[in-house]
Chain A
Amino acid sequence: MKIALVLALILVYNITFSQKINYNNYEPLKSSGPIPDDFRLNSKENFESHLIKPTSKQKEEINYKKEKYIVSTYKQIDDLLKSGFVSFNDPISNYANRVLKTVLKNDKELSSKLRVYLLKSTNVNAASYNNGIILISVGLISQLQNEAQLAYILAHESIHYKNGHHIKGFLNREKSNEYKYKLSYDDRLNSYFSYSKDNELEADKEAFQKYYKNSGYSIQEAEKIFDILLYSYLPFDEIEFDFGIFESEYYKFPKKLIKEETDEISAIENYNDVNSTHPNILKRKKYVERMVGDIEQTGSKFIVSENEFKEAQKAARFELSYLYRIENAFEKAIYNSFLLLRSNPDNKYLKTNIGESLYGLNYYKNSSSYSKAHVRYKKIEGLSQRVNYFFEKIKKSELNIITLRYLWKLHNQFEGDQYINALADSTINEVAKNFKDDLSSFPTKVNKIIKDSLSKEEYEQLSKTDKIKYNKRRKSDVNYYFYSFVGVKNTFDLFEKYDKEVIKNNEEENLSYEELAKKRKKEGRKKKEEIKKGKSLGIDSVYMISPYFEMTKDDLKYNDKIKKYYKRKEFLETTINKIAEKINLTISPINFNNLGINETDKFNDYTVIKNWIYENYFQNNNNFIMASMKYLAKIAEKSKIKHLVWVGITYDYETPKYSLYVYEIKTGKIIMYYKNMVNRLPKDLMKTQIYYSLKQIKRKPKN
């Protein structure tokens, strides 16, 4: 009876898991349930209370360097957890937590101190910290083949925590600094790396012997994990890319764009690991192989749930498409989505992802900064190299056509989707600006004669007009993409929009010199005025990302400097709040520290905003439509606050710079940018800069 109940519960759980994610309208994984203290609290005391206790011998040394140790470690984790790229209680980390409990079933004390969160990163990585947090990346989950492999990785990270490798590493690093004048830099570095490698091997060994061996998982999987790590820089599958998804009967790519043979995969197991924190893969593999030795193959690949693993893996792979897209890795996003489309045909999210990646590539190609979006094919190995080769060899006009055609087809298929419409409209604008041929002359229908070459008899049977068309086509030297829009629906609308854009772009060209000069003068005057007087936005309330204060390497050198850094940061925060209060500007900080335990919805909203800021960092272009925009628009709809402010101090070649950006959440566009660079940052100047920039947000426009 009990077993039946448990099975029923598991079944219900599995159903809820699969129901949670709507893959057709996939949205980045969200956190759920009460917010853990790790994300909410900011006090150093909270951080200290989670730290593992150092041994008495270490204690003396730690006490001496306590402040530095805590601050350097604390800031690193705190920044990461509050970056918007770590989630809790999502399907993947929930599952990973259960796997962790399973593999550590014999050490409940340890397992109670640890918790797993999901790091939304494309890198294949896992890390543990000295306050018991283990992060596993989306990239890692997408590559793993089974639960046993995940269990081994989690056991490995648990040992890092249990054996206090962080404190040891820190003390070792500090010690090497004491020998600054006695040993060369290389000697110290080698010693540091060899120490780190020892720790890794220790974690491999103890993870296997103490936990993994007796956990019931398949022993052999511990070895296989190293092969996965070896090829982790490749996509999660090796399948030949099918360019057919962009082609049609009348629109085929020439051979020169398709690379016939791709380069071999060169992953080397036995690479030189002198300057690496980890031993090379061969060493680790052999080490584990020796431990596995003669142990009989027992255990299973899945204990918690095979279905859950597959769901987690699927979610991670879907998430990857989004992450690649926001990192400007458009070619990787296209290949990843292509791989997933094979098992999820007609998936809207994946198709949109390909569309927006094409949009990104096309945008950068047109703006002559293609290197920001494209990775050279020589840097890529394996079958995905074809995608990069294709986008390297393609010309601007060709890419314009592929993008426009693909997005217009999406626009037809998912009518009414605002995001796709925006992408299509923006591309039409791009093509109108950059495409040299006349798009509206492209045929949208063809007769049969276009397709085939005709025999004499067939030719003679044609009407006069068809004969003329046939001969014209045979003689003329049209581009292969001339027939690209044949068979595409609603081309009338497309060409109409295109023509309007062309006319709009040509408006300026048709102006007389006098009119143009007048226009330029007016624009120039307006710009000058704006610089002189500043903006007047008339905004009463804004969201604000918690002020950013860049930490220089110098700041981390001594305890005093660290303290000073925090004082400066605190001054920045309090001054902003004071001044905002003075000028009646309501600031709602996007700060996880202010959240209540049950404000997970807000947490998720903040995460979307932070993701968007991150994406914005890559784009640097105000007109570019970002992937996170569609999620941001939803926040703008439900919130009264329509604007977001980013403020911070950064360093440009050691010169501090105060900057402030104001974004309109609905469109994601920057509506105000203020910066000021000075040699030093005295308090009075900071105050007045903050006042002046915030005042411009609040100040009402004259008319």
Chain B
Amino acid sequence: MKKNIFIISLLFISFNTFSQGYMGHKFGLRYNGLIFPNMANMWNDNSDHIFGLNYTHSFSLAYTFNKGAEVFIEFELFNLDYSINQITIKKNNDSGDTEEYSHLEPTHIKSKSFGFGFRFYSTEWLAPLGFYNQLSLLISSAKAYSTDGKETVIDETVYPRIGWGFGSQRVIAGNLMIDIGVQTYLSFINPLNNNTIQQRLFFRNLASFKLGLTYVL
């Protein structure tokens, strides 16, 4: 681990000599709010949530390393409060036998992701300004909680996902920039089984609009 950090630091130092950045500010702190339609409920009988919107909070530390590109590390959080999951519960009946009851139950998913990515800016512009394409790789960990009374972990998934996005970043005042775009993620989990946490997560990540602020340091 130490070795990796050392190599990455060396890379940063070598990049630093020719980096661009907005007026020479190479580091940037970014917050992005990802807004997406609640597609996870499309196959659900409960029609209440079909047109719902969900939000993801993403925090990044970006570093512009030449006039057309930046590298960033990203931490992302989201909660999925009203996702419905099929729960199987074992209960003893009156005769003392164990029976399995299966029913749909409100489930609460908490997800944390961590990863890195690159942004490539249009050649007309200079990073971190202008139109860009973004590639990223995230490792996500999602826990599903039962919401009846106690928060009990009922499922846990760790999966990787790769993202592609595009958008535009422009200065609004001083060192503050606005970032608008579209973000998509392809999660490496099986989305085919209905009403599973995996399916929820897959569609949850698939496509979102993003609106964010970047402050260059």
B-contacting residues of A (Cβ < 8 Å)?
532-534, 579, 582-583, 676-679, 682-685, 687-689, 691-692, 695, 702
Contact = CB atoms under 8 A, between A and B. Distances in A.
Q: What 6 pairs across the A-B complex have the smallest Cβ distances?
A: A684-B171, A533-B18, A688-B126, A678-B124, A691-B23, A692-B126
**Range of interface residues on chain B?**
10 to 19
A277 B190 CA distance: 81
A676 B124 contact: yes
Main secondary structure of the interface of B (DSSP, over half): loop
A531 to B, nearest CB: 10
B32 interface: no
Nearest to A532: B66
Given A533-B18, A533-B66, A682-B170, A695 B24 contact: yes
Nearest to A683: B171
A530 to B, nearest CB: 11
A649 to B, nearest CB: 15
Contacts of B22: 684, 688
Contacts of A689: 126
B159 interface: no
7 contacts: A677-B124, A682-B170, A685-B126, A685-B129, A688-B129, A692-B67, A692-B126
B10 to A, nearest CB: 16
A532 B124 CA distance: 13
A691 B24 contact: yes
Contacts of A582: 23-24
Nearest to A689: B126
B163 interface: no
A678 to B, nearest CB: 5
Contacts of A579: 23
Nearest to B125: A685
A685 B130 contact: yes
Contacts of A691: 23-24
Nearest to A579: B23
Interface string B105-126: 0000000000000000000111
Nearest to B122: A678
Nearest to A679: B124
Contacts of A682: 170
Contacts of B66: 532-533
A652 to B, nearest CB: 13
B193 interface: no
A590 B23 CA distance: 25
Contacts of A687: 23, 171
A583 B18 contact: no
Contacts of A692: 20, 67, 126
A334 to B, nearest CB: 46
Contacts of A534: 18, 67
Interface in B14-35: 17-18, 20, 22-24
A682 B177 CA distance: 14
A33 to B, nearest CB: 44
A678 B125 contact: yes
A521 to B, nearest CB: 22
B137 to A, nearest CB: 24
Most buried by B among A688, A695, A702: A688
Contacts of A688: 20, 22-23, 125-126, 129
Given A582-B24, A678-B125, A688-B125, 10 more contacts: A532-B66, A533-B18, A579-B23, A582-B23, A583-B24, A677-B124, A678-B124, A684-B129, A687-B23, A691-B24
B23 to A, nearest CB: 5
Interface in B53-84: 66-67
B97 to A, nearest CB: 72
A674 B18 CA distance: 16
A90 to B, nearest CB: 45
A695 B19 CA distance: 11
Contacts of B171: 683-684, 687
Contacts of A583: 24
Most buried by B among A583, A677, A687: A687
Given A533-B66, A534-B67, A684 B170 contact: yes
A383 B91 CA distance: 118
B121 to A, nearest CB: 11
A692 B66 CA distance: 11
Contacts of B17: 702
Contacts of A678: 124-125
A534 B67 CA distance: 9
Interface string B37-58: 0000000000000000000000
Nearest to B171: A684
